[in-house]
Structure 1
């Protein structure tokens, strides 16, 4: 369900990025109380009357008990991106945007421990919320942020991260790598690939003692960091990932069985109501549901955001792409409806689980 929220602030972060803050009315404060790491789905109508949906991570700290939630997201311009172009060039204070309640499973609930993040570009957005919330709520917690950006001028939330370093010098460790610009001090420029991370991480912190690793950014960086950590003996359960951008051909395209029945039927439960529909040739199970239920949850339709996650109750499906669900989720029976196609003649999904 989308809610119209008024824009209370638009702050320019870099030449190609802004932070947008939404005013949350009193009656929606509990609806928009977020957990660090969650994102928002936003919706607007394009010039041609088409519906545009996108997801953006919340960068503000999570509100504590009795505090009003602050809803601030980071938006970076994507070439050809309809919503990001609108946000950078037209969106202004006083405008109204339709926003869905916070969602997502890339989370860090504040707790004592040692945590680390490896981020690239706008991947800093959810991690900023994680680090700032953790450090203020848990005096015994520590956080190491390893971030990669093209240049200093393109670095989002530079001041906010510097403030964390100033406020928590003993508990917040910051390592910055620029891929296209040399720094006066710190690490040499270049990409943070698997080989470089495998050598760098043990020199920065006790890798095996970190309670949770959070990887966020482009697919190549996240995949390389995951391989580096696994090679250093980090258990899979301690590695959490969120992909912000996927280059074509950068990952396997098919997950699961490849054959498809000539005719298939989908039964889906959404908000307590069930329906059964024929699946048209070539369409995803999400599109099957949307033909009759416009309230079906989705945002990116690219297998990245996870908004359309559903539990596979019966039958088999093939997922074209999956960059949103962790292994534990797929093993438990969850699929992305936007990427799923029937393998058996009858398939049943439950969006409410």
Structure 2
């Protein structure tokens, strides 16, 4: 569900990024209480066309009874209509349509030893994880390995430094720059699979980390995942969120034979309906023709907002960068990437 929220502040982080804080009225505090790592979908209409984008919450999660004021990090994307608007036009006092927090890339605060490998704006959800975890759990530790192009392009540079100053014994920070030499620390260059495979065992007891959180562009996340798996880390301890998929960097599922005619039945917010699937359209597009309230944001298989349970029938997913293997095994699919492989398909968005 979307709500109109007023912009409380817009802070310039770098030349191409800002942090936007929303003011939430008391009656909506409970709806906008987030778990560290979750994101918000933002919506605006331009020239009659609806634009939706998801941005991760970077602020610490509020405690019981505390006001909710979610803060998101937004970096400009080449040709990005929403990011350009946010950076160049959005101002304090403006209102934005904001969906309630969503996402399964989460860290519920509890004692343990955790680590993250992030690239660029991938720091955004992890900043929320770190600040919430260390403030609430005195027995928790966190190691952050981050990769950025240059110091000037690094988002939340001061905020991360403040965390390091506040928790010097429990927070470890390792920074790599891909396009700038440093006098101290790691040599410049990208954090690829080979480099991480050599680096991580020197920093941490890799297989004893309670949870690994990987966030950023597809290349970094997939390389870090392969490095960790090669070092013996269990799949269940690795959590991923991809912010950007470079063109041609990830495979698309080969097309499967589609039925001549297909009917989609959907349960959404307690109401059910059935509609014919038009040739070439995704199941999400089928639903949106009749139900404009169907949940979605990126339509690229990345954010997971359109996650639904496959009740019956079979589907083919073009791409999946949001669902964990456990979720797909349990029967969940991304409606924006799914096409019917049988004549009858039923999805449940409420499970």
Q: TM-score, normalised by structure 2?
A: 0.99
Between the two proteins, the alignment pairs up a number of residues equal to 351
Alignment RMSD (CA, Å): 0.7
Q: For the residues of structure 1 that align with 2:139 and 2:170, how far apart are their CA atoms?
A: 8
- The aligned residue for residue 316 of structure 1 is 314
- The aligned residue for residue 185 of structure 2 is 186
Q: Cα distance, 1:184 vs. partner?
A: 1.4
- The aligned residue for residue 351 of structure 1 is 349
Q: Cα distance, 1:249 vs. partner?
A: 1.4
Residues 159-238 of structure 1 mapped to structure 2, 5 A cutoff:
159-238=158-237
- The aligned residue for residue 303 of structure 2 is 305
**Is the contact between residue 62 and residue 70 of structure 1 (CA under 8 Å) also seen in structure 2?**
no
Residues 68-107 of structure 1 mapped to structure 2, 5 A cutoff:
68-107=67-106
- The aligned residue for residue 22 of structure 2 is 22
- The aligned residue for residue 283 of structure 2 is 285
Q: Cα distance, 1:70 vs. partner?
A: 2.4
Q: For the residues of structure 1 that align with 2:284 and 2:65, how far apart are their CA atoms?
A: 38
Q: Cα distance, 1:244 vs. partner?
A: 0.0
Cα deviations across residues 216-261 of structure 1 (Å, max 9, x unaligned)?
Answer: 0000000000000000000000000000000111112017x71211
- The aligned residue for residue 7 of structure 1 is 7
- The aligned residue for residue 332 of structure 1 is 330
Q: For the residues of structure 2 that align with 1:320 and 1:249, how far apart are their CA atoms?
A: 14
Q: For the residues of structure 2 that align with 1:187 and 1:247, how far apart are their CA atoms?
A: 25
- The aligned residue for residue 136 of structure 2 is 137
Which one of the candidate residues 259, 262, 270 is aligned to 1:261? Answer: 259
Q: For the residues of structure 2 that align with 1:27 and 1:69, how far apart are their CA atoms?
A: 10
2:290 aligns to what SS in structure 1? coil
Q: Cα distance, 1:65 vs. partner?
A: 1.4
Q: Cα distance, 1:23 vs. partner?
A: 0.2
1:99 aligns to what SS in structure 2? strand
2:31 aligns to what SS in structure 1? coil
Q: For the residues of structure 1 that align with 2:228 and 2:299, how far apart are their CA atoms?
A: 29
1:93 aligns to what SS in structure 2? coil
- The aligned residue for residue 31 of structure 1 is 31
1:221 aligns to what SS in structure 2? helix
Q: For the residues of structure 1 that align with 2:48 and 2:349, how far apart are their CA atoms?
A: 28
Q: Cα distance, 1:43 vs. partner?
A: 0.3
Q: For the residues of structure 1 that align with 2:13 and 2:152, how far apart are their CA atoms?
A: 9
Cα deviations across residues 269-296 of structure 1 (Å, max 9, x unaligned)?
Answer: 0000000000000000000000000000
2:227 aligns to what SS in structure 1? helix
Q: For the residues of structure 1 that align with 2:70 and 2:301, how far apart are their CA atoms?
A: 25
1:291 aligns to what SS in structure 2? helix
1:305 aligns to what SS in structure 2? coil
Q: For the residues of structure 2 that align with 1:346 and 1:59, how far apart are their CA atoms?
A: 41
1:144 aligns to what SS in structure 2? strand
Q: For the residues of structure 2 that align with 1:324 and 1:264, how far apart are their CA atoms?
A: 26
Q: For the residues of structure 2 that align with 1:150 and 1:32, how far apart are their CA atoms?
A: 33
Q: For the residues of structure 2 that align with 1:123 and 1:107, how far apart are their CA atoms?
A: 13
